[in-house]
Structure 1
Amino acid sequence: MTDASPADRLAAVHAAIAGAAKLARRSPEDVTLIAVSKTHGPEAIEPLLGAGHRVFGENRVQEAAAKWPVLRDRFADVELHLVGRLQSNKAEEAVALFDFIQSVDRPSLAAAIARAMEKTGRRPGCFVQVNIGDEPQKGGCSVAGLPALLEQCRGAGLPLKGLMCIPPAEIEPAPYFALLSKLADRHGLAGLSMGMSADYEAAVTIGATHVRVGTALFGARA
């Protein structure tokens, strides 16, 4: 759909989510579509806002801080997710800006977020990122380390919403999505943020509550 309008792309992704949900005997309303707008400016974002979409994701705090405050002056009901790795020294800025932080992956970051929440009075929902494929180049806690990190997050008072993962590229993602679902169920977490442009339909059939879609909505990044 390279020549499709943003509204058409949005409708196509929603239709694909609905189709995958139907296969899994789920309601498509149980799946939140996060439009990942990293590297895209307001001129690319505004058509989706105009089409009624309100949930967006960004990878970097500084990039989001440069474009979203102005957009939120016009679209106050936007829900903003941080989906990229977060440095502890950016925790306070992230807590002030985002409604959800999806990349909690280590005790030091959990502690920094907790301090930022206490200081700012804001409490964005948190997802723990799991390095589901045990890939050294990716963020996320190990599967073995998940119970301890969840205990630390809960002890720090973080509002835990679920788990997030990025499966290995060019490998069938379904087993990794199934593992994340199993881990979330084991630890009493309802949220499952999994699935991107190439595999979000598979993620929905396995129980994703949030899918993070960029290219299918915005086109290829420069």
Structure 2
Amino acid sequence: MSESVVTQWQAVRDEIARAASDNERTPGDVTLVAVSKTVAAEGIRPVLEAGQRVFGENYVQETAAKWPGLREAYPDVELHLIGPLQSNKAREAVALFDVIQTLDRTSLAAALAKEVRRAGRQPVLLVQVNTGDEPQKGGVSPSAVDAFLAECRDTHGLTVSGLMCIPPAEDPPSAHFGMLAAIAARHGLTWLSMGMSADYPAAIQMGATHVRVGSAIFGARPAKT
């Protein structure tokens, strides 16, 4: 099993390099965020041993349970929160994560600002944009991003480094990636987290700096019950 995971991880790395080169980009400018949510610590170790250092998790509680031991062995790991964050989990999130990709509302901005000041620790922050304006999905509406970024900066004193999106499953993703890239460019934001297992080459074509790939590395996740 560990050999197949490493083989799949390497295949994703090779595809990232191809997609970058095909679009006249430097492969090193695209960071692979290996999405390890629901993967046990023993399932993560093989790709850690192979050299992967950037990982994405969805849940504060799961991350707190499985990552401290792994980080002792691999202290240079960078952990990204890529799932929704409740405001009452802001303290734990600021302590656990190096990057929080899902800042998407005023109450969360206030909670994160409070914890950043208290802890003296500043995770990199990305604003999640709901590019399809899907009611069931988190993220700021594209029409509200400009005002929200200003509020994060001026009211809460937060530094936002980039944007993240998850396009609607039924839509061709490139238009959504292009929208996100245009918003980021307008605000001088340098991090663009977009693209997952099914569409990361298209995201790289549209300027992604970070791609979030899970099932293509670790295999399909168990169905929710």
TM-score, normalising length: structure 1:
0.97
- For residues 185 and 110 of structure 1, the distance between their equivalents in structure 2, rounded to whole angstroms, comes to 22
The residue aligned with 1:19 is 18
- Is the counterpart of residue 118 in structure 1 residue 126 in structure 2? no
* Residues paired across the two proteins, number: 221
CA positional deviation for 1:64:
0.4
1:95-150 Cα shifts (integer Å, max 9, x gaps): 00000000000111011000000111110000000000110110001011101110
2:221 is matched with which residue? Answer: 221
- Aligned counterpart, 2:29: 30
Q: Which residue of 1 aligns with 2:184?
A: 184
Q: Following superposition, which runs of at least 4 residues in structure 1 exceed 4 angstroms of deviation? A: none
| RMSD of aligned alpha carbons | 1.2
Equivalent AA in structure 2 for residue 100 of structure 1: V
Change (3 A) 1:175 1:21: same
Query: Post-superposition shift, 1:4?
Result: 6.2
Letter in 2 for 1:87: Q
Unpaired runs of at least 5, structure 2: none
The 1-side partners of 2:205 and 2:53 are apart by 23
Q: CA shift at 1:79, angstroms? A: 0.1
Who is 2:210 aligned against?
210
Specify the alignment match of 1:84 in structure 2: 83
- AA in 2 matched with 1:179: M
Residue in 2 aligned with 1:45?
44
Pairing of 1:134-145 with structure 2 (within 5 A): 134-145=133-144
Query: What code does the residue aligned with 2:171 have?
Result: I
SS, match of residue 217 in structure 1: helix
State the shift of 1:3 in Å: 9.8
Cα deviation, 1:50-95, whole Å, max 9, x if unaligned, reads 1010000000101100001111111100000000000000001000
Q: Which runs of 5+ in 1 are unaligned?
A: none
1:161 equivalenced with 2:161 (yes/no)? yes
Give the C-alpha shift of residue 159 in structure 1.
2.5
Contact 1:124 1:159 in 2 (8 A): no
Displacement after TM superposition at 1:161 (Å): 1.2
Q: C-alpha separation between the residues in 1 aligned to 2:203 and 2:106? A: 28
- CA shift at 1:157, angstroms? 2.2
- Distance in 2 between the 1:159 and 1:74 partners? 30
Q: Write out per-residue CA displacement over residues 162-191 of structure 1, whole angstroms, 9 at most, x where no aligned residue.
A: 000000103210000001000100111111
Structure 1 residues 199 and 4 mapped into 2: Cα distance closer, same or farther (>3 Å)?
A: farther
Conserved? CA contact 1:9–1:216, under 8 Å: yes
Taking the aligned partners of 2:198 and 2:171, their CA distance within structure 1 comes to 11
Q: Does the 8 Å contact 2:2/2:46 carry over to 1?
A: no
TM-score scaled by structure 2?
Answer: 0.96
C-alpha distance in structure 1 between counterparts of 2:13 and 2:166, whole Å:
21
| Aligned-partner Cα distance in 2 for 1:104–1:3 | 34
- Per-residue displacement from partner, 1:15-50 (whole Å, max 9, x unpaired)? 111111111100010001000100111011001101
Percent identical pairs in the alignment equals: 60
